[in-house]
Amino acid sequence: MKARSFVAVAILLLASGAFVTSCGSEDKRQVSDSSDKSGEGGAEAQEKNNSGDSGGGGVFPAARATATIKGHVVYDGKLPRRLKTPISGEAFCEKCYPDGAPVSARYEIDQATKGVRWCFVEVLGADTKWKFEPPKDKLKLDQVNCRYAPHALGIMTGQTLVITSSDPIDHNVHFFGKNKPAWTNRIVHKGQLLKVVFKRPANEKYKCDIHGWMNAAVYVRSHTLYAVTDAKGAFTLPKLPAGAYEIKVVHEKWKKGETQTVTIGDGETKDITLKIKK
Amino acid sequence: MAQQRRLTLQQGSGTGRTGGWSHPLAFGSALLIFVMIVAGATVTTIGAGDSDPAWSWRFWEWFRSASGGQFYELLHRQIGTVIGFVAIGMVVSLFRNEERRWVRRLGVVALLMTIVQGLLGGLRVQAVSSPAWRDFLCNLLGIGHEGVRMTLAMVHAFNAQLVFCTLVALAVVTSRGWRGGEQPSETSEHTRKTRRLAMWACALIFVQLVLGAYVRHGRVLYPGETAPYYNLVLLLHVCMALGVVGHIFLVNSHTRASHPKIFPVWHLAGLAQFLGMFQLALGAGAWAVTQSGVTPVPWDVAMLVRVLHVGNGAAIFAIFVTLGARSFKLLRLGAPEQAGLPQGGRRTHEVASKHRNRP
């Protein structure tokens, strides 16, 4: 029995050795990818051959788009308590906020106007109506003073997102979501560039596990008709052709976002107010 | 030579063998696993499990200074490494000094479970940071990578409790009292019920720990969202908590009434009852700071409450494993008059007051 037990232990140790060795070799490959400062790693290049899920009829008629829909997103109901960002455990981060931790990005609501920041406002069904080309310009998601900047952004499938860090300390960039990017979790050093191209529309998230309060919301769509609200809850959608549109608001924390139907004529500007609540 | 040595040990053992380092190492492993569970709970609570994306066989690289959430994650891995070595030492000691075959086997099982636990932890990290492992596991389980991450984290969490339970049992059976010929102190017709109650308590607590792991990981791993059937599992967890505490009360009242002279049995039940009540309070606190979303408490207080909830749950589990093991050692089945051993039975006021006045 003793001999048999030792054999069993030896087999398991060998198996575990094989596993950890494979893990080690995986790490090496990953490190070599992430050290690519230009960000044009092989993994990213693999993703570039996708063109997104744009479907629908003709190409979006940018020339005929003269109507403007803008407005505000306001919190509906009693304002929630403004929870602070729980910054602790990292000397550099604590030094960045000598006057105390800022309000958590998820709770940034203008107390006077009830305008909600970091809401994503979009034209529903735009991708079934028209086809869109992914914009050539790259979007940047930076990490500044131990927070993501910006906290929320919209991006089109096929468009490139560049993730970087301006902080002198390490952050890890951990992806949560439905897409399957070439990498899901990496350490990013100051100035390092990591590129991501999303394949499918979804509401995705990034998080730093070293500094648990750091998170960012990335709204991936297969069109470009969206906007993110500012500190007053204001937004301006890209110009649209005349017609009737369903405008929807989304927020990572407050789930009940209003959908409003807006009819607009050529050259017209409409100001709307969208409500959102818990 | 080894056989001769074993024979010598057996001859010399009787009831007074030393057992070498087996007991200190088993006890140390169990203690370290408990610390590990608390460290793991801290890592989960602050969501730092992926703060170091690399996980390789170069475990010595984990012994470095870190800050933020990475500090807790590396501490978790460091303790895990130490546990691995201590468990190996324990098994070596068991094979050198222990004559009971089943104890040696239990030691091997504990070591294997410890290794599996380490590998699960590594796999849990790789499921996120390694695209190859992520895609392999997604295809294998047929779920998205968030589901894979959650599943592995849950299995990692409740396997930790199983490892803990096994090591606690080893620590009990290698203890001096057990090895040193501790004889059944009482023959009682209530013994069967006591053992059954203790084993039921272990089973119920384990199920409760699994539900708790789902509640914890189902929330933490999906920022802003929850895992499927989350609210149902949460409700089950709450209902079962009341059931488990009720069962603990039952065990306590039964052992006090049936085995008033067997202090190691009923005092453990009493301790479990106290911790069970504390656990209910901690559970309510954890719910208040995470689920209700209305309780404005500092972040570190919220973390402490949730970590204590996990640690206390593990402690109650360990108590019932110990109680179950000791009920098999100290209590004998049968009618009291047949064995000539001290008679168990319903506790009288005299006996109760005697125990209360015990110096």
pLDDT of residue A105 exceeding 80? yes
Secondary structure class of A212 (helix, strand, coil): coil
pLDDT of residue A179: 85
pLDDT band for position A204 (50/70/90)? very high
Q: Could B51 and A27 be called an inter-chain contact, meaning their C-beta atoms sit closer than 8 Å?
A: no
Report CA-CA distances (Å) from B82 to B60, B109, B114, B161: 11, 18, 11, 18
pLDDT of residue A54: 44
In terms of DSSP H, where are the helices of A78-134? 91-96, 126-129
| A212 vs B336, residue with greater confidence | A212
pLDDT of residue B83: 96
pLDDT band for position A186 (50/70/90)? very high
One-letter amino acid for residue B222 of the chain: Y
pLDDT of residue A56: 53
Q: Could A21 and B300 be called an inter-chain contact, meaning their C-beta atoms sit closer than 8 Å?
A: no
pLDDT band for position A191 (50/70/90)? very high
Mean pLDDT over residues B5-11, rounded? Answer: 45
Which residues in chain B are closer than 8 Å to A17, comparing Cβ atoms?
Answer: 57
Mean pLDDT over residues B113-139, rounded? Answer: 92
pLDDT of residue B335: 55
Optimal mutation site among B3, B5, B44, B51, interface A, most CBs of chain A within 10 A: B51
pLDDT of residue A209: 92
Q: Structurally, what CATH architecture does the domain formed by B183-359 represent?
A: Up-down Bundle (1.20)
Percent of chain B surpassing pLDDT 90:
50
Per the CB < 8 A criterion, the answer to whether A173 and A206 are in contact is: yes
pLDDT of residue B318 exceeding 60? yes
Mean pLDDT over residues A47-63, rounded? Answer: 60
Number of folded domains that form chain A? 1
Q: Residue A44 domain-assigned?
A: no
Optimal mutation site among A172, A175, A179, A186, interface B, most CBs of chain B within 10 A: A172
What is the Cβ-side half-sphere exposure of residue B123, based on CA atoms within 13 angstroms?
23
Mean pLDDT over residues A138-164, rounded? Answer: 96
| B191 vs B165, residue with greater confidence | B165
Comparing CA positions, the residue from B291, B273, B321 lying closest to residue B219 is B291
pLDDT of residue B193: 86
Q: Residue A30 domain-assigned?
A: no
pLDDT band for position B299 (50/70/90)? confident
pLDDT of residue B32 exceeding 80? yes
By the CB < 8 Å criterion, does B51 face chain A?
Answer: yes
The token pair at B68 is: 């933020």
> How high is the mean pLDDT of chain B?
83
Residues within 8 A of A (CB atoms), B 129-148 only: 129-135, 144-146
Q: Could B67 and A13 be called an inter-chain contact, meaning their C-beta atoms sit closer than 8 Å?
A: no
Mean pLDDT over residues A35-54, rounded? Answer: 36
Q: Going by C-beta distance under 8 Å and a sequence separation of 6 or more, which residues neighbour residue B48? A: A209, A210, A212, B68, B69, B70, B72, B73
Mean pLDDT over residues B7-34, rounded? Answer: 71
pLDDT of residue B348: 37
Percent of chain A surpassing pLDDT 90:
62
pLDDT of residue B29: 95
pLDDT of residue A49 exceeding 70? no
For residue A107, give the DSSP letter. Answer: G
Optimal mutation site among A6, A90, A185, interface B, most CBs of chain B within 10 A: A185
Q: Residue A127 domain-assigned?
A: yes
Q: Could A172 and B130 be called an inter-chain contact, meaning their C-beta atoms sit closer than 8 Å?
A: no
Peptide bond into A150 cis (omega under 30): yes
Q: What is the dihedral of CA B277, B48, A216, A224, to 10 degrees?
A: -110
Max mean pLDDT range (A111-115, B227-231, B343-347): A111-115
Max mean pLDDT range (A245-259, B55-69, B171-185): A245-259
| Dihedral sign, Cα of residue B253, residue B258, residue B259, residue B260 | positive
pLDDT of residue B45 exceeding 70? yes
Q: What is the ipTM of this complex?
A: 0.75
pLDDT band for position A32 (50/70/90)? very low
pLDDT of residue B187: 64
By the CB < 8 Å criterion, does A187 face chain B?
Answer: yes
The secondary structure element, H or E, covering residue B77 is: helix B68-97
Write the residue in A2, A24, A252 that is nearest to B224 by C-beta.
A252
Chain A: give the shortest CA distance to residue B336, in Å: 38
Q: Residue A15 domain-assigned?
A: no
Per the CB < 8 A criterion, the answer to whether A112 and A77 are in contact is: no
Domain residue spans of chain B: 18-182, 183-359
Mean pLDDT over residues A156-167, rounded? Answer: 96
pLDDT band for position B320 (50/70/90)? very high
Which residues in chain A are closer than 8 Å to B223, comparing Cβ atoms?
Answer: 176, 205, 207, 215
Write the residue in A16, A26, A212 that is nearest to B130 by C-beta.
A26
| Residue bearing tokens 């009682």 | B188
Report CA-CA distances (Å) from B9 to A2, A4, B2, B21: 16, 22, 10, 15
Task: Give the model confidence (pLDDT) of A241-267 as tens digits.
Answer: 999 999 999 998 888 899 999 999 999
By the CB < 8 Å criterion, does B57 face chain A?
Answer: yes
Q: Could B122 and A19 be called an inter-chain contact, meaning their C-beta atoms sit closer than 8 Å?
A: yes
**Residue A196: which CATH number?**
2.60.40.420
By the CB < 8 Å criterion, does A23 face chain B?
Answer: yes
Q: Residue A122 domain-assigned?
A: yes
Mean pLDDT over residues B143-166, rounded? Answer: 90
Write the residue in A9, A176, A211 that is nearest to B69 by C-beta.
A211
pLDDT of residue B211: 94
Optimal mutation site among B6, B42, B46, interface A, most CBs of chain A within 10 A: B46
pLDDT of residue A58: 87
Please give the Cα distance from B304 to B114 (Å, whole number): 26
For residue A62, give the DSSP letter. Answer: G
Mean pLDDT over residues B187-207, rounded? Answer: 87
Comparing CA positions, the residue from A190, A108, A110, A93 lying closest to residue A147 is A93
| Dihedral sign, Cα of residue A189, residue A220, residue A140, residue A90 | negative
Q: Which domain holds residue A166?
A: 51-277
By the CB < 8 Å criterion, does A182 face chain B?
Answer: yes
pLDDT of residue A237 exceeding 80? yes
Which residues in chain A are closer than 8 Å to B147, comparing Cβ atoms?
Answer: none
pLDDT of residue B271: 93
Lowest-pLDDT choice from A80-89, A231-240, B290-299: B290-299
pLDDT of residue A27: 35
pLDDT of residue A266: 93
* Backbone φ and ψ of A115, nearest 5°: -70, 135
Q: Residue A29 domain-assigned?
A: no
Please give the Cα distance from B80 to B114 (Å, whole number): 9
pLDDT band for position A25 (50/70/90)? very low
One-letter amino acid for residue B133 of the chain: W
Q: Could A20 and B122 be called an inter-chain contact, meaning their C-beta atoms sit closer than 8 Å?
A: yes
The bridge status of strand A269-277 relative to strand A185-188 is unpaired
pLDDT of residue A92: 93
pLDDT of residue A128: 92
